[in-house]
Amino acid sequence: MDRLYNVLIAGVGGQGNLLCGRVLAEAAILKGYRPTIGETFGASRRGGTVVTHVRIGDHDLGPLIPRGTVDMLIGLEPMEALRAAVDYCGERAIAVVSTAEVQTMQCITGTTKYPPLADILDVMSSICASVSPIDPVLALGETEYRRVLNSFMLGAALTIGIAPLTANGVRESLTGLMQPVGPNVAAFDAGLKTSVRV
Which is nearest to 157 in space by CA: 56, 73, 79? 73
- Residue pair 46/88 in contact (Cβ under 8 Å)? The answer is no
Q: What pLDDT, on the 0 to 100 scale, is given for residue 124?
A: 98
Which pLDDT value is given to residue 43? Answer: 54
46 has a pLDDT exceeding 60: no
**Domains in the chain, ordered, with CATH?**
5-192 (3.40.920.10)
Residue 198 — very low, low, confident or very high, per pLDDT cuts 50/70/90? low
- Identify the three-state secondary structure at position 192: helix
Chain-centroid distance, C-alpha 72: 8
Coil/strand/helix, residue 135: coil
C-beta of residue 177 within 8 angstroms of C-beta of residue 19: yes
Please state which of the ranges 66-80, 108-122, 146-160 shows the lowest mean pLDDT: 108-122
pLDDT of residue 144: 84
More confident residue, 141 or 60: 141
Three-state SS across 31-73?
CCCCCEEEEEECCCCCCCEEEEEEEECCCCCCCCCCCCCCCEE
**How would residue 44 be classed by pLDDT, with cut points 50, 70 and 90?**
very low
Read off the pLDDT band of 145 (50, 70, 90): confident
Give every CB contact of residue 188 below 8 A, 6+ residues apart in sequence.
Answer: 151, 152, 154, 155, 170, 171, 174
Q: Residue 41: pLDDT above 90?
A: no
Tell me the pTM: 0.92
The mean-pLDDT minimum among 37-46, 115-124, 155-164, 179-188 falls in 37-46
Q: Residues 61-85: pLDDT tens digits? A: 889 999 999 999 999 999 999 999 9
Mean pLDDT, to the nearest integer, of 49-65? 91
Please tell me the predicted confidence (pLDDT) of residue 2.
57
On average, the pLDDT of the chain sits at 90
Percent of the chain residues past pLDDT 90, beyond the cut: 69
Residue 24 falls in which region: left (phi positive, over 0), alpha (psi -120 to 50) or beta: alpha
**Would you place residue 15 in the very low, low, confident or very high pLDDT band (cuts 50, 70, 90)?**
confident
Query: Three-class SS of residue 6?
Result: strand
Mean pLDDT of 98-117: 84
DSSP label of 110: T
